[in-house]
Chain A
Amino acid sequence: MNYRKKNQTRNKVKESSLKQTKRQTKVAGGYFIDKLHAYRDQHAHALFSSLGRIVAAPFNSIMTISVLAIAISFVSGFYVLELNIQELAGHIEANNQISLFLRDDVSETHANKLAESIRQNSNVQSVKLITKDEAAKEFQTYSGFGSAINELEKNPLPIVLQVLPKKSLDKKQDLEDLQKEFQQSSEVDVVQMDLQWIERLQSIINVFELFADILNILLGAAVLLIIGNTVRLELHNRRDEVIIEKLVGATNSFIQRPFLYAGFWIGFISSISAWFIVTVLMLILRHSVEKLSSLYGGSFHLLFLTLTDTLALITISSLLGVLASWVVLSYQMHSTKLKQKNF
């Protein structure tokens, strides 16, 4: 009895404070504002309750999210790889130099004379002569077979003239003409145009990119399917709840809302995990890649996902999550009529 009395007085206090707040909402715009707040509350509740459910079943969630994170990190990994290869190819593309490997019997003085005559060519910007000794030294430093060359009695490396054509000479035909011209001189053994293997590299890159694109589409489909299936299972597990909500007059959009948010969260958390995976991998690779780059005298710096890339990754993954759950829900809601016995 005492308890009830206390409760009544408590309720009275509550009621008077409620009256106050009611008056306040009326002043603020009344009914419409109240509805708007209720709508916002519904969304906020769906947003946080769906996150709560993910956290509440950590084992399942971690499994699903790990699989998704790996799939998404593949996609973004390929993207970063493409980015870096393009960057690298861009570095190389900058010089379309031609290497002239001279015959073994050509002396250094003769080679210098030849270099001088090539310099006079109107199509040539510069010529660099690499002597046998220099070549051997370079080989020793960079190839990793340094000691092998010492074993040989005679330096097998030829003298090389590195010819850089004028920038204006950008047509393939002109370069090939220049190449032919060099080929005709008797001192030259082999003429190698770097452009040729750049072209080959470029076409290899193109093949790789196509492959990556196909794989990305497949991985995207996998992400959709995994999220869709997760939401489907969740819907199945909460079937009773869905039916009860329907019975007390919930619209389809009310019922779907927490599941759509669940799809969003799964996509969102997976993309952030994927970002971590990619970034950690890149950090591991960075040291080795930059060391390799320095061995080739390059100053290549590994490119990471930029802020824009990261935001795009998170947005796309989250939207994929929403899309996947939307597809599953619109299919399931039509098939989940209230057919089961409720009475």
Chain B
Amino acid sequence: MIDFDAVTMRYPEAGDVLRNVSFHLAKGEMAFLTGHSGAGKSTLLRLITIMERSSRGRVVLDGQDLRIAKEHQLPFIRRKMGVIYQDYKLLYDRTVFDNIALPLVIAGYGHHEITRRVRAALDKVNLTGKEKKYPLALSGGEQQRVGIARAVVNKPPIIIADEPTGNLDPELSAEIMFLFGQFQQVGVTVLIASHDISLITQLNHRVLKLDHGQLVTS
């Protein structure tokens, strides 16, 4: 589902941030991406979400080579993945419902289908009844779960999460990790960037460890 083939990312001001990174994540696989800060985790995620294109090497997502994808194809490739951000990236002037519905609205779903799917996603992340609230009226954990609901509402085959438990207490973190496990069980490929070592070792999943731009364990 996610293929890195000898990927190097070079910034003119910072040099090689990723060096010769290769790995393969199969469909329905769940993995952690870890490493010290500055190891290149963010850059790797930026390559997957097509905010950057690699300097060398191929990044292939669901059979699509991102290096040669045309600008107008990018939105449709992005719809294949649900991305969860550390800072949630919610729209604060819109209700929880509207936030979660956004990917569906963009994809052009009908009104009924949107309502049905948003409710299902809300139920999944245990936020039923909060759809009319605004994000700022929710706690950090709840906002994170709104972000997760938005990422999964479109039923994407890939979920990417950047430090999804960074701002949460251990109990909530475990709850959210459990949620990711559930997605994996239904065939979703999940990649989670995290440096919460204890949590990672607790869960027995594959770990991709970056060190100074190089993949040391995969």
Contacts and interface: CB of A to CB of B under 8 A. Distances in A.
A11 B128 CA distance: 11
Interface string B2-42: 00000000000000000000000000000000000000011
B110 A245 contact: no
Interface stretch (A32-40, A205-213, A262-270, A278-286): A32-40
Given A34-B113, A37-B111, A250-B75, A342 B105 contact: no
A339 B53 CA distance: 11
A266 B46 CA distance: 37
A338 B107 contact: no
Contacts, number: 83
B75 A249 contact: yes
Chain B residues touching A, range? 35 or more
B181 interface: no
A302 to B, nearest CB: 48
Contact of B112 (A22, A247, A342): A22
Interface string B159-201: 0001000000000000000000000000000000100000000
B45 A248 contact: no
B91 A244 contact: yes
Summarize A's interface: helix, strand, loop or mixed.
helix
A65 B89 CA distance: 32
B45 to A, nearest CB: 5
A45 to B, nearest CB: 8
A2 interface: no
Summarize B's interface: helix, strand, loop or mixed.
helix
Contacts of A240: 89, 91
B55 to A, nearest CB: 16
Given A34-B113, A342-B85, A343-B45, A248 B102 contact: yes
Interface string B55-79: 0000000000000000010011011
B83 A247 contact: yes
A342 B112 CA distance: 32
A341 B102 CA distance: 21
B89 A251 contact: no
Name which of A22, A42, A248 has the most chain B CB atoms within 10 A of its CB: A248
Contacts of A95: none
Nearest to A53: B93
Interface in A249-303: 249-252, 254
A7 B128 contact: yes
Contact of A18 (B41, B46, B103, B116): B116
Nearest to B42: A343
Nearest to B89: A244
A21 interface: yes
A45 B101 CA distance: 13
A4 interface: yes
Which 8 A/B pairs are nearest by Cβ-Cβ distance? A249-B79, A343-B42, A249-B78, A34-B110, A338-B51, A248-B103, A38-B108, A250-B106
26 contacts: A4-B128, A18-B112, A21-B112, A34-B110, A38-B109, A38-B110, A41-B110, A41-B111, A42-B105, A45-B105, A244-B102, A246-B75, A247-B83, A248-B83, A248-B102, A248-B103, A248-B106, A248-B150, A249-B76, A250-B106, A251-B72, A338-B51, A342-B49, A342-B85, A343-B46, A343-B85
Given A7-B129, A249-B79, 11 more contacts: A3-B129, A4-B128, A11-B119, A39-B108, A241-B91, A244-B91, A245-B106, A247-B83, A249-B75, A343-B85, A343-B162
